[in-house]
Structure 1
Amino acid sequence: MTVAHTPGGPAARSRRPSGDGRWAAILLAVPVLGLVVFYLWPLIRTAILSVSTGNPFLGYQITGFDNWVQVLTGDELPRALLNTLVYAAVVLLGVPLAMIAAVLLHQRGLRFRGLFRVLYFLPVVTMPAAVAMVWRYIYNGDFGLLNEVLATMGLPTTAWVADPRTALYAVAVVGIWMGLGTNLIILAAGLEAIPDSVTEAAMLDGAGPVRRFASITAPLLSPSVFLVSVLSVIGSLQMFDLLFVMLGRTNPALADSKTIVYLFYEEAFVRSDRPLGAVIALVTLVVTLIVTAIQFRLQRRWVHYA
Protein backbone atom coordinates (compact mmCIF):
# COMPACT_ATOMS: atom_id res chain seq x y z
CA MET A 1 0.00 0.00 0.00
CA THR A 2 1.47 3.37 -1.03
CA VAL A 3 1.12 6.35 1.26
CA ALA A 4 0.97 9.71 -0.48
CA HIS A 5 2.89 12.53 1.14
CA THR A 6 0.87 15.71 1.44
CA PRO A 7 2.56 19.15 1.23
CA GLY A 8 2.18 19.56 4.98
CA GLY A 9 3.22 16.02 5.85
CA PRO A 10 6.25 14.80 7.82
CA ALA A 11 8.56 14.88 4.80
CA ALA A 12 7.86 18.58 4.20
CA ARG A 13 8.22 19.42 7.87
CA SER A 14 11.57 17.63 8.03
CA ARG A 15 12.93 19.94 5.36
CA ARG A 16 11.88 23.18 7.06
CA PRO A 17 14.52 23.37 9.79
CA SER A 18 17.35 23.52 7.27
CA GLY A 19 15.61 26.35 5.40
CA ASP A 20 14.88 28.16 8.65
CA GLY A 21 18.49 27.68 9.69
CA ARG A 22 19.75 29.29 6.48
CA TRP A 23 17.47 32.28 6.93
CA ALA A 24 18.53 32.59 10.56
CA ALA A 25 22.19 32.56 9.48
CA ILE A 26 21.53 35.23 6.85
CA LEU A 27 19.67 37.47 9.29
CA LEU A 28 22.35 37.04 11.97
CA ALA A 29 25.15 37.68 9.49
CA VAL A 30 24.13 41.33 9.04
CA PRO A 31 24.52 42.46 12.69
CA VAL A 32 27.54 40.20 13.19
CA LEU A 33 29.21 41.70 10.12
CA GLY A 34 28.44 45.20 11.36
CA LEU A 35 29.85 44.30 14.78
CA VAL A 36 33.07 42.99 13.25
CA VAL A 37 33.52 45.85 10.78
CA PHE A 38 32.55 48.79 12.97
CA TYR A 39 33.57 47.59 16.46
CA LEU A 40 35.87 44.59 16.59
CA TRP A 41 38.20 45.54 13.71
CA PRO A 42 38.62 49.18 14.86
CA LEU A 43 39.40 47.87 18.34
CA ILE A 44 42.08 45.56 16.95
CA ARG A 45 43.50 48.38 14.82
CA THR A 46 43.58 50.67 17.86
CA ALA A 47 45.40 48.04 19.90
CA ILE A 48 47.99 47.61 17.13
CA LEU A 49 48.36 51.38 16.75
CA SER A 50 48.95 51.78 20.51
CA VAL A 51 52.19 49.77 20.26
CA SER A 52 53.41 51.45 17.08
CA THR A 53 55.26 54.58 16.05
CA GLY A 54 55.17 56.59 12.86
CA ASN A 55 52.82 58.96 11.04
CA PRO A 56 49.92 58.70 8.56
CA PHE A 57 52.18 59.52 5.60
CA LEU A 58 55.09 57.12 6.16
CA GLY A 59 53.06 54.47 7.95
CA TYR A 60 53.36 52.89 11.37
CA GLN A 61 55.70 50.20 12.67
CA ILE A 62 55.17 48.10 15.79
CA THR A 63 57.88 49.06 18.26
CA GLY A 64 56.63 47.88 21.67
CA PHE A 65 55.00 49.39 24.73
CA ASP A 66 56.85 52.71 24.82
CA ASN A 67 53.61 54.60 24.16
CA TRP A 68 51.92 52.89 27.09
CA VAL A 69 54.80 53.71 29.39
CA GLN A 70 54.79 57.34 28.28
CA VAL A 71 51.04 57.75 28.87
CA LEU A 72 50.78 55.77 32.12
CA THR A 73 53.79 57.44 33.72
CA GLY A 74 52.90 60.95 32.58
CA ASP A 75 51.20 63.65 34.65
CA GLU A 76 48.24 64.35 32.37
CA LEU A 77 46.44 60.99 32.43
CA PRO A 78 45.96 60.72 36.23
CA ARG A 79 44.60 64.27 36.41
CA ALA A 80 42.29 63.73 33.43
CA LEU A 81 41.09 60.42 34.86
CA LEU A 82 40.39 62.04 38.25
CA ASN A 83 38.48 64.86 36.57
CA THR A 84 36.44 62.33 34.62
CA LEU A 85 35.53 60.35 37.74
CA VAL A 86 34.63 63.53 39.62
CA TYR A 87 32.43 64.63 36.74
CA ALA A 88 30.71 61.23 36.67
CA ALA A 89 30.12 61.34 40.44
CA VAL A 90 28.55 64.81 40.23
CA VAL A 91 26.35 63.83 37.27
CA LEU A 92 25.10 60.84 39.30
CA LEU A 93 23.43 63.37 41.60
CA GLY A 94 20.98 63.93 38.77
CA VAL A 95 19.57 60.41 39.26
CA PRO A 96 17.80 61.15 42.59
CA LEU A 97 16.64 64.48 41.13
CA ALA A 98 15.11 62.65 38.17
CA MET A 99 13.61 60.11 40.54
CA ILE A 100 11.89 62.83 42.59
CA ALA A 101 10.65 64.57 39.43
CA ALA A 102 9.31 61.28 38.04
CA VAL A 103 7.41 60.54 41.25
CA LEU A 104 5.92 64.03 41.34
CA LEU A 105 4.84 63.81 37.70
CA HIS A 106 3.32 60.39 38.37
CA GLN A 107 0.78 61.77 40.84
CA ARG A 108 -2.83 61.10 39.99
CA GLY A 109 -4.83 64.01 38.70
CA LEU A 110 -1.80 66.04 37.65
CA ARG A 111 -2.74 68.28 34.76
CA PHE A 112 -0.43 68.80 31.77
CA ARG A 113 1.68 65.79 32.72
CA GLY A 114 2.62 65.15 29.10
CA LEU A 115 3.62 68.78 28.61
CA PHE A 116 5.92 68.68 31.63
CA ARG A 117 7.59 65.52 30.33
CA VAL A 118 8.14 67.13 26.95
CA LEU A 119 9.71 70.19 28.58
CA TYR A 120 12.03 67.99 30.62
CA PHE A 121 13.00 66.05 27.48
CA LEU A 122 13.76 69.10 25.31
CA PRO A 123 17.45 69.33 26.36
CA VAL A 124 17.95 65.72 25.24
CA VAL A 125 16.95 66.46 21.63
CA THR A 126 18.83 69.77 21.55
CA MET A 127 22.32 69.83 20.04
CA PRO A 128 24.94 69.67 22.81
CA ALA A 129 26.93 72.45 21.15
CA ALA A 130 23.90 74.76 21.23
CA VAL A 131 23.23 73.89 24.87
CA ALA A 132 26.87 74.52 25.75
CA MET A 133 26.86 77.92 24.04
CA VAL A 134 23.74 79.04 25.94
CA TRP A 135 25.14 77.91 29.27
CA ARG A 136 28.47 79.51 28.48
CA TYR A 137 26.72 82.88 28.33
CA ILE A 138 24.77 82.09 31.51
CA TYR A 139 28.04 81.34 33.31
CA ASN A 140 29.89 84.37 31.89
CA GLY A 141 31.77 86.17 34.64
CA ASP A 142 31.13 89.68 33.29
CA PHE A 143 27.55 89.73 32.01
CA GLY A 144 26.22 86.23 32.67
CA LEU A 145 22.66 85.73 33.89
CA LEU A 146 23.76 83.65 36.87
CA ASN A 147 26.06 86.35 38.22
CA GLU A 148 23.38 88.99 37.67
CA VAL A 149 20.93 86.98 39.78
CA LEU A 150 23.54 86.36 42.48
CA ALA A 151 24.51 90.05 42.54
CA THR A 152 20.90 91.16 43.05
CA MET A 153 20.70 88.75 46.01
CA GLY A 154 23.93 90.10 47.51
CA LEU A 155 25.80 86.84 46.96
CA PRO A 156 29.39 86.57 45.68
CA THR A 157 29.96 86.06 41.97
CA THR A 158 32.76 84.40 40.03
CA ALA A 159 33.89 83.47 36.53
CA TRP A 160 32.29 80.04 36.67
CA VAL A 161 33.89 78.42 33.62
CA ALA A 162 37.19 80.32 33.86
CA ASP A 163 37.94 79.45 37.48
CA PRO A 164 39.73 76.08 37.91
CA ARG A 165 37.89 75.57 41.19
CA THR A 166 34.41 75.76 39.63
CA ALA A 167 34.78 75.03 35.90
CA LEU A 168 34.38 71.25 36.04
CA TYR A 169 31.43 71.45 38.44
CA ALA A 170 29.74 74.09 36.27
CA VAL A 171 29.98 71.77 33.28
CA ALA A 172 28.68 68.88 35.41
CA VAL A 173 25.55 70.89 36.29
CA VAL A 174 24.84 71.24 32.58
CA GLY A 175 25.39 67.49 32.19
CA ILE A 176 22.80 66.85 34.91
CA TRP A 177 20.34 69.18 33.20
CA MET A 178 20.84 67.55 29.79
CA GLY A 179 20.42 64.01 31.12
CA LEU A 180 17.40 64.75 33.27
CA GLY A 181 14.91 64.14 30.46
CA THR A 182 16.20 60.69 29.52
CA ASN A 183 16.38 59.63 33.16
CA LEU A 184 12.88 60.94 33.76
CA ILE A 185 11.38 58.94 30.88
CA ILE A 186 13.04 55.69 32.00
CA LEU A 187 12.01 56.17 35.62
CA ALA A 188 8.48 57.13 34.59
CA ALA A 189 8.22 53.83 32.69
CA GLY A 190 9.42 52.04 35.82
CA LEU A 191 6.74 53.76 37.90
CA GLU A 192 4.06 52.70 35.43
CA ALA A 193 5.12 49.07 35.99
CA ILE A 194 4.49 49.27 39.76
CA PRO A 195 1.04 47.73 40.47
CA ASP A 196 -1.50 50.17 41.86
CA SER A 197 -2.76 47.46 44.20
CA VAL A 198 0.50 47.53 46.15
CA THR A 199 0.31 51.28 46.69
CA GLU A 200 -3.38 51.13 47.57
CA ALA A 201 -2.72 48.39 50.12
CA ALA A 202 -0.04 50.53 51.76
CA MET A 203 -2.45 53.49 51.88
CA LEU A 204 -5.08 51.30 53.59
CA ASP A 205 -2.45 50.32 56.15
CA GLY A 206 -1.94 54.02 56.94
CA ALA A 207 1.41 54.54 55.18
CA GLY A 208 2.05 58.17 54.28
CA PRO A 209 3.67 59.46 51.09
CA VAL A 210 7.20 59.34 52.52
CA ARG A 211 6.75 55.83 53.90
CA ARG A 212 5.24 54.60 50.63
CA PHE A 213 8.14 56.07 48.69
CA ALA A 214 10.81 54.56 50.96
CA SER A 215 9.22 51.12 51.42
CA ILE A 216 7.45 50.52 48.11
CA THR A 217 8.32 52.93 45.32
CA ALA A 218 12.10 53.06 45.81
CA PRO A 219 12.65 49.26 46.07
CA LEU A 220 10.36 48.46 43.14
CA LEU A 221 11.92 51.25 41.08
CA SER A 222 15.50 50.18 41.86
CA PRO A 223 16.02 48.25 38.55
CA SER A 224 15.18 51.40 36.59
CA VAL A 225 17.38 53.48 38.88
CA PHE A 226 20.23 51.06 38.28
CA LEU A 227 19.80 51.28 34.51
CA VAL A 228 19.77 55.08 34.66
CA SER A 229 22.88 55.08 36.86
CA VAL A 230 24.83 52.85 34.46
CA LEU A 231 23.86 54.94 31.44
CA SER A 232 24.71 58.18 33.26
CA VAL A 233 28.16 56.96 34.28
CA ILE A 234 29.01 55.61 30.83
CA GLY A 235 27.91 58.88 29.23
CA SER A 236 29.92 60.87 31.77
CA LEU A 237 33.09 58.89 31.10
CA GLN A 238 32.75 59.79 27.41
CA MET A 239 32.02 63.49 27.95
CA PHE A 240 33.81 65.83 25.56
CA ASP A 241 31.50 68.21 23.67
CA LEU A 242 30.30 70.23 26.68
CA LEU A 243 33.84 70.78 27.93
CA PHE A 244 35.14 71.64 24.48
CA VAL A 245 32.49 74.30 23.78
CA MET A 246 31.96 75.74 27.26
CA LEU A 247 35.62 76.16 28.17
CA GLY A 248 37.40 76.58 24.85
CA ARG A 249 41.05 75.86 24.12
CA THR A 250 42.36 79.16 25.56
CA ASN A 251 40.54 78.92 28.90
CA PRO A 252 42.90 79.15 31.89
CA ALA A 253 40.82 76.52 33.70
CA LEU A 254 41.16 73.94 30.94
CA ALA A 255 44.44 72.49 32.20
CA ASP A 256 42.78 71.55 35.51
CA SER A 257 39.47 70.44 33.97
CA LYS A 258 40.44 68.10 31.12
CA THR A 259 38.61 64.80 30.93
CA ILE A 260 40.15 61.64 29.55
CA VAL A 261 38.30 61.98 26.23
CA TYR A 262 39.48 65.58 25.90
CA LEU A 263 43.03 64.34 26.49
CA PHE A 264 42.50 61.81 23.69
CA TYR A 265 41.33 64.63 21.40
CA GLU A 266 44.46 66.67 22.14
CA GLU A 267 46.87 63.81 21.50
CA ALA A 268 45.17 62.31 18.43
CA PHE A 269 43.93 65.43 16.64
CA VAL A 270 45.70 68.53 18.00
CA ARG A 271 49.19 67.03 18.34
CA SER A 272 48.50 64.40 15.62
CA ASP A 273 50.06 61.67 17.77
CA ARG A 274 47.70 58.83 16.96
CA PRO A 275 49.60 56.08 18.80
CA LEU A 276 49.34 58.00 22.07
CA GLY A 277 45.71 58.73 21.28
CA ALA A 278 45.13 55.00 20.75
CA VAL A 279 46.60 54.28 24.18
CA ILE A 280 44.28 56.82 25.81
CA ALA A 281 41.29 55.39 23.91
CA LEU A 282 42.06 51.90 25.21
CA VAL A 283 42.54 53.23 28.73
CA THR A 284 39.12 54.88 28.44
CA LEU A 285 37.62 51.56 27.37
CA VAL A 286 39.24 49.71 30.29
CA VAL A 287 38.13 52.35 32.82
CA THR A 288 34.57 52.21 31.48
CA LEU A 289 34.52 48.41 31.76
CA ILE A 290 35.91 48.50 35.30
CA VAL A 291 33.47 51.15 36.53
CA THR A 292 30.52 49.36 34.91
CA ALA A 293 31.61 46.03 36.39
CA ILE A 294 31.77 47.65 39.84
CA GLN A 295 28.25 49.01 39.38
CA PHE A 296 26.95 45.58 38.40
CA ARG A 297 28.71 44.09 41.40
CA LEU A 298 27.25 46.59 43.84
CA GLN A 299 23.73 46.37 42.40
CA ARG A 300 23.27 43.01 44.11
CA ARG A 301 23.05 44.84 47.43
CA TRP A 302 20.38 47.40 46.61
CA VAL A 303 18.54 46.43 43.41
CA HIS A 304 15.38 44.40 43.98
CA TYR A 305 13.99 42.49 41.01
CA ALA A 306 10.36 41.44 41.23
Structure 2
Amino acid sequence: MSIHPDHRSDADAGTAAAAAAAADRPQADPTGDDTLDLRVDDLVALLAGERPTPPAAHDPASGLPSGFPTGFPSDLPSGLPTDSADGRLDGDLLDSVASWAPADTRFGAFRLVPVRLARDLLLLARWMNDPAVAAFWELAGPDAVTADHVRAQLEGDGRSVPCLGVLDSTPMSYFELYRADLDPLSRAYPARPHDTGVHLLLGGVADRGRGVGTALLRAVADLVLDHRPRCTRVVAEPDIRNTPSVSAFLSAGFRYAAEIDLPDKRAALMIRDRALRHVL
Protein backbone atom coordinates (compact mmCIF):
# COMPACT_ATOMS: atom_id res chain seq x y z
CA MET A 1 0.00 0.00 0.00
CA SER A 2 1.28 3.44 -0.83
CA ILE A 3 -0.16 6.87 -0.33
CA HIS A 4 0.71 9.67 -2.71
CA PRO A 5 2.39 12.64 -0.97
CA ASP A 6 1.43 15.26 -3.56
CA HIS A 7 1.03 17.82 -0.82
CA ARG A 8 3.91 16.76 1.34
CA SER A 9 5.61 19.58 3.25
CA ASP A 10 7.58 22.03 1.19
CA ALA A 11 10.83 23.02 2.92
CA ASP A 12 10.92 26.24 0.91
CA ALA A 13 7.37 27.27 1.85
CA GLY A 14 7.47 29.82 4.66
CA THR A 15 5.14 32.13 6.40
CA ALA A 16 3.85 33.44 3.06
CA ALA A 17 2.46 30.00 2.22
CA ALA A 18 0.52 29.87 5.45
CA ALA A 19 -0.88 33.34 4.82
CA ALA A 20 -1.90 32.40 1.28
CA ALA A 21 -3.56 29.28 2.65
CA ALA A 22 -5.77 31.38 4.89
CA ALA A 23 -6.71 33.73 2.05
CA ASP A 24 -7.58 30.97 -0.43
CA ARG A 25 -9.36 28.63 1.94
CA PRO A 26 -13.06 27.88 1.42
CA GLN A 27 -15.26 29.48 4.04
CA ALA A 28 -17.47 26.47 4.68
CA ASP A 29 -16.31 23.36 6.47
CA PRO A 30 -18.32 20.21 5.63
CA THR A 31 -18.06 19.26 9.31
CA GLY A 32 -17.86 22.59 11.11
CA ASP A 33 -16.99 26.27 10.98
CA ASP A 34 -13.30 26.05 11.86
CA THR A 35 -10.88 28.79 10.94
CA LEU A 36 -7.10 28.78 10.74
CA ASP A 37 -5.56 30.67 13.66
CA LEU A 38 -1.81 30.14 13.48
CA ARG A 39 0.42 31.02 16.39
CA VAL A 40 3.59 32.97 15.65
CA ASP A 41 5.76 30.50 17.52
CA ASP A 42 4.48 27.70 15.27
CA LEU A 43 6.09 29.45 12.30
CA VAL A 44 9.51 29.92 13.84
CA ALA A 45 12.04 28.08 11.74
CA LEU A 46 14.12 25.54 13.61
CA LEU A 47 17.01 25.47 11.18
CA ALA A 48 19.49 22.63 11.32
CA GLY A 49 21.40 21.20 8.40
CA GLU A 50 22.52 17.61 7.94
CA ARG A 51 26.27 17.29 8.32
CA PRO A 52 28.16 15.44 5.56
CA THR A 53 28.46 11.75 6.33
CA PRO A 54 30.09 9.03 4.22
CA PRO A 55 27.45 6.94 2.41
CA ALA A 56 26.53 3.69 4.09
CA ALA A 57 27.48 0.42 2.45
CA HIS A 58 24.65 -1.92 1.42
CA ASP A 59 24.38 -5.37 2.93
CA PRO A 60 23.07 -7.65 0.15
CA ALA A 61 22.24 -10.42 2.62
CA SER A 62 19.83 -8.43 4.74
CA GLY A 63 18.81 -5.82 2.19
CA LEU A 64 19.58 -3.09 4.76
CA PRO A 65 22.38 -0.54 5.00
CA SER A 66 25.43 -1.82 6.87
CA GLY A 67 25.38 -0.83 10.51
CA PHE A 68 21.59 -0.61 10.67
CA PRO A 69 20.68 -1.24 14.32
CA THR A 70 19.69 -4.86 14.80
CA GLY A 71 17.77 -4.25 17.99
CA PHE A 72 15.10 -1.76 16.88
CA PRO A 73 13.53 -0.28 18.83
CA SER A 74 15.73 -1.05 21.87
CA ASP A 75 18.86 0.37 20.20
CA LEU A 76 17.14 3.75 19.96
CA PRO A 77 15.78 4.70 23.39
CA SER A 78 13.36 7.55 23.90
CA GLY A 79 14.77 11.06 24.15
CA LEU A 80 17.26 10.99 21.28
CA PRO A 81 19.67 13.96 21.43
CA THR A 82 19.02 17.04 19.34
CA ASP A 83 22.63 17.38 18.21
CA SER A 84 22.90 14.06 16.41
CA ALA A 85 25.53 13.73 13.70
CA ASP A 86 22.68 13.29 11.25
CA GLY A 87 21.02 16.61 12.07
CA ARG A 88 17.98 17.46 14.15
CA LEU A 89 16.07 14.40 15.28
CA ASP A 90 14.14 16.23 17.96
CA GLY A 91 12.78 19.73 18.42
CA ASP A 92 10.43 19.65 15.42
CA LEU A 93 7.03 21.31 15.01
CA LEU A 94 5.32 17.99 15.72
CA ASP A 95 6.13 17.72 19.42
CA SER A 96 9.36 15.74 19.13
CA VAL A 97 8.47 12.64 17.12
CA ALA A 98 11.83 11.06 17.97
CA SER A 99 10.85 10.78 21.62
CA TRP A 100 7.49 9.08 21.06
CA ALA A 101 7.00 5.72 22.74
CA PRO A 102 6.38 2.50 20.79
CA ALA A 103 2.86 1.25 20.14
CA ASP A 104 1.47 -2.26 20.36
CA THR A 105 -0.31 -3.65 17.28
CA ARG A 106 -1.70 -7.08 16.49
CA PHE A 107 1.33 -7.57 14.25
CA GLY A 108 3.88 -6.67 16.92
CA ALA A 109 5.56 -3.70 18.55
CA PHE A 110 5.70 -0.67 16.27
CA ARG A 111 7.83 2.44 16.46
CA LEU A 112 8.47 5.55 14.38
CA VAL A 113 12.19 6.20 13.95
CA PRO A 114 13.19 9.49 12.26
CA VAL A 115 15.09 8.90 9.02
CA ARG A 116 18.85 9.32 8.87
CA LEU A 117 19.95 9.54 5.25
CA ALA A 118 23.40 8.05 5.76
CA ARG A 119 21.81 4.93 7.23
CA ASP A 120 18.48 4.67 5.41
CA LEU A 121 18.82 6.05 1.88
CA LEU A 122 19.46 2.79 0.03
CA LEU A 123 16.51 1.12 1.70
CA LEU A 124 14.16 4.02 0.98
CA ALA A 125 15.30 4.34 -2.63
CA ARG A 126 14.69 0.63 -3.18
CA TRP A 127 11.15 0.98 -1.87
CA MET A 128 10.53 4.06 -4.02
CA ASN A 129 11.51 2.07 -7.12
CA ASP A 130 8.92 -0.61 -6.47
CA PRO A 131 6.36 -0.07 -9.29
CA ALA A 132 3.41 -0.24 -6.87
CA VAL A 133 4.96 2.54 -4.79
CA ALA A 134 6.31 4.59 -7.69
CA ALA A 135 2.85 4.82 -9.25
CA PHE A 136 1.74 7.14 -6.44
CA TRP A 137 4.89 8.55 -4.85
CA GLU A 138 6.58 9.36 -8.18
CA LEU A 139 10.10 9.13 -6.71
CA ALA A 140 11.48 6.27 -8.80
CA GLY A 141 14.95 6.70 -10.25
CA PRO A 142 18.48 7.16 -8.87
CA ASP A 143 19.05 7.31 -5.14
CA ALA A 144 19.51 11.08 -5.45
CA VAL A 145 15.79 11.48 -6.26
CA THR A 146 14.79 9.99 -2.91
CA ALA A 147 17.63 11.79 -1.14
CA ASP A 148 16.48 15.18 -2.40
CA HIS A 149 12.91 14.50 -1.29
CA VAL A 150 13.90 13.43 2.22
CA ARG A 151 16.66 16.02 2.65
CA ALA A 152 14.19 18.84 1.96
CA GLN A 153 12.32 17.74 5.09
CA LEU A 154 15.39 17.11 7.24
CA GLU A 155 16.79 20.54 6.41
CA GLY A 156 13.43 22.31 6.69
CA ASP A 157 11.86 24.01 9.67
CA GLY A 158 10.53 20.87 11.34
CA ARG A 159 7.01 20.96 9.93
CA SER A 160 7.52 17.53 8.29
CA VAL A 161 9.31 14.55 9.84
CA PRO A 162 10.19 11.55 7.66
CA CYS A 163 10.30 8.29 9.61
CA LEU A 164 10.94 4.60 9.21
CA GLY A 165 8.15 2.42 10.52
CA VAL A 166 9.84 -0.33 12.52
CA LEU A 167 7.80 -3.43 13.33
CA ASP A 168 9.30 -5.93 15.78
CA SER A 169 12.81 -4.60 15.14
CA THR A 170 12.40 -4.65 11.33
CA PRO A 171 12.16 -1.44 9.27
CA MET A 172 9.28 -2.19 6.91
CA SER A 173 7.47 1.07 6.11
CA TYR A 174 7.99 4.78 5.55
CA PHE A 175 5.91 7.54 7.10
CA GLU A 176 5.87 11.29 6.72
CA LEU A 177 4.18 13.18 9.53
CA TYR A 178 3.55 16.82 8.72
CA ARG A 179 1.74 19.90 9.94
CA ALA A 180 -1.20 19.96 7.54
CA ASP A 181 -2.20 23.41 8.77
CA LEU A 182 1.18 24.78 7.64
CA ASP A 183 1.22 22.80 4.39
CA PRO A 184 -0.13 23.74 0.93
CA LEU A 185 -2.82 21.11 1.59
CA SER A 186 -4.47 23.65 3.90
CA ARG A 187 -5.54 25.62 0.82
CA ALA A 188 -7.81 22.76 -0.22
CA TYR A 189 -9.81 22.30 2.99
CA PRO A 190 -10.68 24.32 6.13
CA ALA A 191 -7.67 23.40 8.24
CA ARG A 192 -7.61 23.63 12.01
CA PRO A 193 -4.52 24.64 13.99
CA HIS A 194 -2.23 21.66 14.56
CA ASP A 195 -3.97 19.37 12.07
CA THR A 196 -1.42 16.61 11.50
CA GLY A 197 -1.07 14.87 8.15
CA VAL A 198 0.28 11.42 7.39
CA HIS A 199 1.75 9.75 4.29
CA LEU A 200 2.54 6.03 4.27
CA LEU A 201 4.12 3.35 2.14
CA LEU A 202 4.67 -0.31 2.97
CA GLY A 203 8.07 -1.44 1.77
CA GLY A 204 7.55 -5.17 1.42
CA VAL A 205 5.05 -6.94 -0.78
CA ALA A 206 4.45 -9.49 1.99
CA ASP A 207 3.07 -6.72 4.21
CA ARG A 208 0.43 -5.62 1.72
CA GLY A 209 -3.12 -6.86 1.52
CA ARG A 210 -3.30 -8.49 4.96
CA GLY A 211 -4.29 -5.61 7.21
CA VAL A 212 -0.82 -4.37 8.17
CA GLY A 213 -1.39 -0.94 6.65
CA THR A 214 -4.66 -0.53 8.55
CA ALA A 215 -3.02 -1.53 11.84
CA LEU A 216 -0.12 0.88 11.34
CA LEU A 217 -2.35 3.77 10.31
CA ARG A 218 -4.43 3.34 13.46
CA ALA A 219 -1.28 3.06 15.57
CA VAL A 220 0.28 6.18 14.07
CA ALA A 221 -2.92 8.19 14.41
CA ASP A 222 -3.12 7.14 18.06
CA LEU A 223 0.53 8.12 18.59
CA VAL A 224 -0.16 11.55 17.12
CA LEU A 225 -3.21 12.10 19.32
CA ASP A 226 -1.40 10.78 22.41
CA HIS A 227 1.70 12.93 21.97
CA ARG A 228 0.23 16.07 20.37
CA PRO A 229 -2.39 17.36 22.82
CA ARG A 230 -3.11 20.45 20.68
CA CYS A 231 -3.96 18.31 17.64
CA THR A 232 -7.65 17.50 17.29
CA ARG A 233 -7.49 15.73 13.92
CA VAL A 234 -5.19 13.50 11.90
CA VAL A 235 -5.71 13.97 8.16
CA ALA A 236 -4.66 12.30 4.92
CA GLU A 237 -5.28 12.78 1.20
CA PRO A 238 -4.82 9.50 -0.72
CA ASP A 239 -5.53 9.47 -4.43
CA ILE A 240 -9.21 8.73 -4.89
CA ARG A 241 -8.24 5.99 -7.35
CA ASN A 242 -6.10 4.22 -4.75
CA THR A 243 -8.88 2.05 -3.40
CA PRO A 244 -6.68 -0.09 -1.09
CA SER A 245 -5.33 3.03 0.62
CA VAL A 246 -8.75 4.63 1.05
CA SER A 247 -10.10 1.35 2.45
CA ALA A 248 -7.18 1.08 4.88
CA PHE A 249 -7.85 4.57 6.22
CA LEU A 250 -11.54 3.80 6.69
CA SER A 251 -10.71 0.58 8.52
CA ALA A 252 -8.22 2.50 10.70
CA GLY A 253 -10.91 4.81 12.06
CA PHE A 254 -10.65 7.68 9.58
CA ARG A 255 -13.81 9.07 8.04
CA TYR A 256 -14.25 10.13 4.45
CA ALA A 257 -14.80 13.91 4.61
CA ALA A 258 -14.75 15.07 0.98
CA GLU A 259 -13.16 14.81 -2.43
CA ILE A 260 -10.67 17.60 -3.00
CA ASP A 261 -8.84 18.74 -6.11
CA LEU A 262 -5.08 18.92 -5.67
CA PRO A 263 -2.60 19.98 -8.38
CA ASP A 264 -1.98 16.51 -9.77
CA LYS A 265 -4.72 14.30 -8.38
CA ARG A 266 -8.23 14.16 -7.06
CA ALA A 267 -7.93 13.07 -3.46
CA ALA A 268 -10.10 11.63 -0.74
CA LEU A 269 -9.83 13.82 2.34
CA MET A 270 -9.68 11.40 5.26
CA ILE A 271 -9.98 12.59 8.87
CA ARG A 272 -9.49 10.84 12.19
CA ASP A 273 -11.10 12.95 14.92
CA ARG A 274 -9.82 12.96 18.48
CA ALA A 275 -13.42 13.11 19.69
CA LEU A 276 -14.30 9.93 17.78
CA ARG A 277 -11.07 7.97 18.24
CA HIS A 278 -12.64 5.44 20.62
CA VAL A 279 -15.79 5.09 18.56
CA LEU A 280 -14.47 4.45 15.03
TM-score scaled by structure 2? 0.27
Please say which structure displays the higher CA radius of gyration. 1
Give 1 or 2: higher helix fraction: 1
Give 1 or 2: higher strand fraction: 2
